[in-house]
Amino acid sequence: MTQLDVTCREFVEFLDDYVAGALVGDRLASFNDHLAACPSCVAYMKTYRDAVRMGKAALAPSSEPVPAEVPEDLVRAILLARVRG
């Protein structure tokens, strides 16, 4: 953290908005200034982005192939439940 207005706590609190490009004007400038002077927030932001990317990749629909079919006993149970109402 520097003598600038934005603290590490505030930077992290609004990190989602910052990385999403939702900050503008003086506020964005303050956050940029903070980041330029704070190695801890640089490291935090980098690993935060990595965590988000890894979360998306690890559970992405494409990472788990769609099963070729629904297990036969489950198909039967579903159709039977329909008949029974």
Partner 1 sequence: MTAEIPFLARLREGDATAYETLVRSHGPRMLSLTRRLLRNEADARDALQEAFLSAFKAIARFQGDSQLSTWLHRIALNAALQRLRTRKRLAEESIEELLPAFLEDGHHARHPPEWLAPADALLERREVREIVRTAIDRLPEGYRTVLLLRDIEALDTAAVAELLQITENLVKVRLHRARQALRTLLEPCFRRGNY
Contacting positions for partner 1 (CB under 8 A): 1, 7-10, 12, 15-16, 39-41, 43-44, 46-61, 63-71, 74-75, 77-79, 81-83
Start-end of H helices in the chain = 8-13, 15-19, 25-37, 39-58, 72-84
Q: How far is the CB of 27 from partner 1 (least distance, A)?
A: 16
Q: Are 59 and 51 in contact (CB under 8 A)?
A: no
Would you state the structure tokens that stand for residue 37, as one six-digit string? 């002077």
Q: How far is the CB of 5 from partner 1 (least distance, A)?
A: 11
The residue (of 8 and 23) whose beta carbon lies closer to partner 1 is: 8
